[in-house]
Structure 1
Amino acid sequence: MAKWTAFPYDSDDYRYDAAALKKHWARLHAGDAEPCPAEAAVLQAWTLFHAGEFKAAADAGLKAGGAGITVANKAQAIYANYLEKSEKAKLDLLLEVAQRAEAQAAAEPKNANAHYLMAYALGRYSQGISVAKALAQGLGGKVKGALETAIKLAPKHADAHIALGAFHAEVIDKVGKLLGKTQGADAATGLKMFQTALKLNPTSAIAMVEYANGLVMLEGEKKLKEATKLYEQAAACTPMDAMERLDVEMAKAELED
């Protein structure tokens, strides 16, 4: 596997030992509703993830197996989405996560994050190859179904609500409301998903960013002011780990554009 790009920010504030990680677990995992693992090896993989050591976290998670697969998949998906410079490598990494998560979901059908991470990876992959092309390949239904399953299994899964909101917004934005209907996309449902995500995880920068994007996609320029306000709120968030830092930096970059 090619060398992964290092996390580009100071990660000292995001280094937790096992005890500190357990203490802050609920806040750090307000987005993905992942239960705190009992296995020391899996907990260690998560400490690497939160510190932005995504390659090490993915390796440690795969080695630990079981619940460690979730850490590996999340680390690889987040790395691919935010830090991988090569578009081809990014798509390959996302596809690998989608396949691994799909196998995990088949083995553990009640594992909400197996379904969620398959959908997240396929959703980002779809954005990479173009949403229209992805819909033609039948990926839309797969993403939507997996996210709905994740929410059914974990109703407080804020990140699954965000991703489902993004699905509705992206599909309608790319193919229009009429064709979007054939894919099960609905503007009102999309907006409701974003609002629910923010209720579940009010300090989530990525929820604010994706809601802002969704508003503009679904409602157009009249929502630019509201979207900018959401971006400003996201940029002002205090990140608790490396992933949140990447979200905050993305919001700042968007405001500068």
Structure 2
Amino acid sequence: MRLAVISDIHGNLRALETVHREIKAAAPDLIVNLGDCLSGPLWPEETAQYLAAQGWPTVRGNHDRELAETPADDLGESDVFANRYLSRESREWIAALPATMSVGSDIFLCHGSPSSDEIFLLEEDGGNHFFPSTEGAVRHKLGNVTAGLVLCGHSHTPRVVQVSESQTVLNPGSVGVQAFPGLTATGSPHARYAVATHRNGRWSFDLRAIDYDWAEAAGRANASGFGNWAHGLATGFAADAIGS
């Protein structure tokens, strides 16, 4: 079995389109999406339409939840932008996304961690920075999830962590946003995703970083009044304040 894993698109349709073209050429058995689909100063409505048309198994991220449940006056900056442009159909699509999902009996999908879309499964939140969780902390955050492959996003940081001989956690990184202050700075603007392959009872992983037109994405952010996003999109390094 070959599984393509995407996460944290944040409305970056240009990155998503390029990633999807590469994935289609590789012809995996399934594509799954780990959430934070639309929030950001880019193409929220167009991205929602694209994703809804694909019908991929998708869990909601913390920003998806905010867009679906939080009054507009209480939203953060990047969510305010997305909220302004979303159609009724797109709001209904994002509101219907589940918090977690199982694919078969041995693959578990979440955005942050099994218990919360805001808790990093593989990292600890230090306030203005984060750092890798210990083995014990990862086990604790997994709770009673025993699936052999656990897929998470949220931190925008590509990682593979083997919790035990029978359980591995994969974060594919972010399709659309490579930097935000105090947390992730991948150091390049390439779009990230991953392919997981199950063969002879074991998983192996290909963490991908691919070229796309990030200059267009950065220009879109600038035109929307988000110069801080534009810097991160163009460089992979964080400006002073970029939404997570």
TM-score by length of 1: 0.30
Per residue, is there more strand in 1 or in 2?
Answer: 2
TM-score relative to the length of structure 2: 0.31
Q: Is the helix fraction higher in 1 or 2? A: 1
